[in-house]
Amino acid sequence: MIVTSRWVILTHVSGFNDFALVCLALGQTQSRLQMAELAGEYLARLDPRDAEIAARFMVGRPLAQGDEKPLQISGRAIWKIVAAMTGGQDHEDQGEAIFAVATDFGEAIEMVLRLRQSEPEVTLTLAEVERCFGEIASIEGRNSRRRKLDALRELFERASALEGKYLTKILIGEMRHGMSEGLMLEAIARMASRPVAEVRRANMLAGDVGRAVRAMRTTAPASADATGAPASELDADAPAASLTTARADDAPAHPRPLKPMLAQPAQNVAEAFRMLGDRLALEHKLDGARVQIHCTGAGVHIFSRALNDVTASLPEVAEIAGRLGSRRAIFDGEVIAIGADGRPLAFQEVMRRFGRVRDIERLRVERPVRLFVFDLIGLDGELLIDAPYEERYTALSELASAAGLAMAARILPSTVAEGSQFYARAIAEGYEGIVAKALAGPYMPGARGRGWVKIKTARTFDLVIVAADWGYGRRHGWLSNYHLAARDERDGGLVEVGKTFKGLTDDDFRAMTERLLAIKTAEARGTVVVRPEVVVEVAYSDIQRSPRYAGGMALRFARIVGVRNDKSAAEADTIATVAAAFDRQMVKPLGADE
């Protein structure tokens, strides 16, 4: 088998080693066109099932999206396993030296595996690796952690050093070879000799690149969805007009969720008008968990933003949606947690419910939730994704009114001034912002389409950098993940409230690395501790509870927007200020229409 910067000569295309060689070649290829060609030709040589697996692996997804359970395998666990395989504590202690020269964590694992006395024979197949991932994910109950690690150890013992590198990259979701999901769709189009637009639509409806590969390999070219049905309608017997997947035990077909439509950011209402035009709606942006609800003739199924079935975790939501009776529908909505006073709680409070299947009745009392619906993407046997938003909303309003479903506050502004006033009221009431939606826009599953725009007030703190981690991949050689802390006025100490590597350019990373190394006080396991002298302005979306930090809080989606050279650590924001902001977001009221 030979690898150049572009071409790979393969002998056993279904083997995992050949997959690793293709990924290695992708990482050495700069041209987007050549990457799509290389990946497409490789997928075309595989049988449909192996191509389905390879496409998922190539974008760093170990299992099918929406079907997967978390593997709960950390990079630290992988490191301990391979260190024990190749010399135990001696090699584990060499970690800092290895990390100093490795470009990413996967390469560090490869370097450790090359310390073995001999390489195992290359025998792993794509199907075996996927099966092992699935088995690890399914392990639950007593001694589950040990059994997961035992299964992972068996896999790595069979893997070559190169295979171990890419097993690791898939497991931690950091492939770093440039094959994004968008580029994968171009590769699939080349594989199947289909228009890219057709592949994008199949992926929208399938909700997973692997299923999109299978669809392109098993259906004739046409404007068909991922099941082969016409894009605008489905079999009248299909549950809730959803895509379905047959179960192996001949049980009724199970609804298949679509990826949620996403919104682009805008600075203000005026910019939203420029982006969407005058015919738009504005809605309150709720700080909850996105859900997609499929009401079928056989019952209700609730899917998370990640397309996992969370119905068992949210029985009260299923009961609310069940009010539709015989109507079949697919709703897009938001679930929020409600406090004892009836007011919404912060995002992480509702996330405590997701994935929980034990003590549900107790949790219903201790942490009740409420459903808001804001879009209708399927109704009585027909997908509505191509219908304009105003038509979908009209149908949604009628259903919601009949079934008693809650909806977020909404207006149709005729002027920028009217929209800006609505936005100001939303912020004053404690909402994180608003969403603008083009009345004529379609629903675009999985896309950050031009029809939705989110407008949020920038929230910032001035925080102190107290440590930084060495980066991987493009950030290799730079200190680029910064530990952020607020002042504690009581004792003059510093309390960490999060980390971020976002917001800086390459030049900023270089300059910050030099600056931090000059004030370094210690280093261990890839983390450099520094004197608390550098203050940065940090923007964030909201604050969540976090047992990881001593202050019990962490910033979500933090990014550095500037270095405050004019401020000393003594002038940074306090942990009390962070706590006050957290408290304010915890008491925001429901919309005025509630």
State the DSSP string of 394-413.
Answer: HHHHHHHHHHT-B---EE--
243 is a domain residue: no
308 and 406 both lie in a single domain: yes
379 is a domain residue: yes
- Domain of residue 38: give its range: 2-172
> How would residue 6 be classed by pLDDT, with cut points 50, 70 and 90?
very low
Summary mean pLDDT of the chain: 84
The tens digit of pLDDT for each residue in 83-128 reads 888 875 555 556 667 766 777 788 889 999 998 888 899 999 999 9
3-state secondary structure of 168: helix
Share of the chain above pLDDT 70, in %: 87
228 is a domain residue: no
Number of domains in the chain: 3
The pLDDT of residue 34 is 94
pLDDT at 574 over 50: yes
Query: Within a 10 A sphere around the Cβ of 145, how many other Cβ atoms?
Result: 12
Residues 440, 441, 445: CA angle, nearest 5 degrees: 155
421 and 514 both lie in a single domain: no
* Chain centre distance of CA 477: 27
212 is a domain residue: no
Share of the chain above pLDDT 90, in %: 46
432 and 480 both lie in a single domain: no
Q: Which whole number is the average pLDDT over 420-429? A: 91
CA–CA gap between residue 102 and residue 109 (Å, rounded): 9
Question: Which of 408, 436, 456 represents a domain boundary (last residue)?
Answer: 456
The answer to whether 336 and 352 are in contact (CB under 8 A) is no
CATH of the domain at 543: 2.40.50.140
The pLDDT of residue 99 is 67
CA–CA gap between residue 408 and residue 334 (Å, rounded): 9
Question: Which of 172, 198, 231 represents a domain boundary (last residue)?
Answer: 172
25 is a domain residue: yes
375 and 522 both lie in a single domain: no
The pLDDT of residue 9 is 60
Alpha carbon distances (Å) from 578 to 119, 556, 560, 568: 52, 12, 16, 18
447 is a domain residue: yes
The answer to whether 561 and 538 are in contact (CB under 8 A) is yes
The answer to whether 57 and 83 are in contact (CB under 8 A) is no
156 and 303 both lie in a single domain: no
Token pair, residue 263, equals: 């919104």
Residue 280, CA atoms < 13 Å, CB-side half-sphere: 26
Catalytic residue list contains 499: no
9 and 129 both lie in a single domain: yes
Token pair, residue 516, equals: 């931090």
CATH of the domain at 350: 3.30.470.30
The tens digit of pLDDT for each residue in 217-230 reads 887 665 433 333 33
239 is a domain residue: no
pLDDT at 32 over 50: yes
492 is a domain residue: yes
Q: Which whole number is the average pLDDT over 393-417? A: 95
279 and 422 both lie in a single domain: yes
pTM (two decimals): 0.71
Catalytic entry in 169, 259, 285, 437: 285
469 and 402 both lie in a single domain: no
The answer to whether 275 and 38 are in contact (CB under 8 A) is no
3-state secondary structure of 522: strand
316 and 443 both lie in a single domain: yes
452 and 494 both lie in a single domain: no
The tens digit of pLDDT for each residue in 463-520 reads 999 999 988 766 778 898 999 999 987 777 899 999 999 988 888 898 999 999 988 8
Spatial neighbors of 10 by CB under 8 A, at least 6 apart, are 1, 18, 21, 22, 42, 45
The pLDDT of residue 569 is 86
431 and 487 both lie in a single domain: no
Of the candidates 538, 541, 546, 543, the one whose C-alpha atom is nearest the C-alpha of residue 466 is 538
Q: What letter does residue 68 receive in the DSSP assignment?
A: P
The answer to whether 221 and 198 are in contact (CB under 8 A) is yes
The pLDDT of residue 588 is 47
CATH of the domain at 32: 1.10.3260.10
Torsion angles phi and psi, residue 174, rounded to 5: -130, 80
478 and 530 both lie in a single domain: yes
Q: Which whole number is the average pLDDT over 530-559? A: 88
CA–CA gap between residue 416 and residue 586 (Å, rounded): 29
Question: Which of 407, 438, 456 represents a domain boundary (last residue)?
Answer: 456
